[in-house]
Amino acid sequence: MDIYIKIHRSYRNVVAIADSVLLGKKFEEGIKQLDVRENFYNGMKIESEEEALRVLKMQIVEDSTFNIVGGESVKLAIKAGIIAEGSFGHIANIPYALKLL
């Protein structure tokens, strides 16, 4: 597992989760665009599933919003109970999801 999690603190936290290999890249498909900007996604580098699940479950309790990009990140969000299997989209074969709890 090699993902980044960045928590943007506000009246409602926004949790940005992305596969590390996608940082700094832009993907386009028709009129849809996915811009994985480092300033938004590059936070804590997470290398273990246990650590990632712990962080994500704490943010679920905080009623956070989640912005998820990449195959590893989407699988992790499903395992944490943030999104359901099949409840994500694709842009240029890159899975992504937005979740407002």
Mean pLDDT of 19-27: 97
pLDDT of 101 over the 80 cut? no
The predicted pLDDT at position 8 comes to 96
State residue 99's pLDDT score.
93
CATH topology of domain 3-100: 3.30.1860
Q: Which of 92, 86, 81, 88 is nearest to 35 (CA)?
A: 92
Amino acid at 53: L
CB atoms within 10 A of CB 59: 20
Every domain of the chain and the residues it spans: 3-100
Task: Indicate the pLDDT class of residue 1, thresholds 50, 70 and 90.
Answer: confident
Mean pLDDT for the chain overall: 94
Query: What is this structure's pTM?
Result: 0.93
| Per-residue model confidence (pLDDT) at position 34 | 96
